[in-house]
């Protein structure tokens, strides 16, 4: 997050399922990327407020719609 490669995402399981279904129906690549990353541009104040409010969240890596772009990383836990 310090290098602007990740963001806090507040999408609910239902929102994620709806997104996946919509993408599948329109024959798009499934995932939370580009315009589908609804939490990506939240202000720092809104993020802090939602976290303090107890809203569930995950940290997501920023991804583009470019399917040829390969992202590699070392899983420190696995």
Domain map (residue ranges) of the chain: 6-61
- pLDDT at 16 (0 to 100): 95
Query: Looking at residues 11-17, what average pLDDT do you find?
Result: 95
Residues whose CB is less than 8 angstroms from the CB of residue 56 and which lie 6 or more positions away in sequence, other chains included: 10, 12
Residue 78 CA to residue 71 CA, distance in Å, equals 17
Write the pLDDT tens digit of every residue in 40-69. Answer: 999 999 999 999 999 999 999 887 767 777
Q: How many CB atoms lie within 10 A of CB 45?
A: 8
- For the chain, what percent of residues have pLDDT higher than 70? 99
């Amino acid at each position: 997050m310090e290098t602007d490669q990740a963001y806090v995402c507040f999408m609910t399981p239902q929102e994620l399922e709806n997104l996946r279904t919509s993408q599948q129906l329109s024959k798009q690549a499934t995932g939370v990327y580009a315009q589908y990353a609804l939490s990506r541009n939240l202000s720092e104040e809104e993020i802090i407020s939602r976290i303090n409010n107890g809203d569930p969240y995950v940290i997501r890596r920023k991804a583009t719609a470019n399917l040829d772009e390969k992202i590699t990383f070392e899983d420190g836990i696995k």
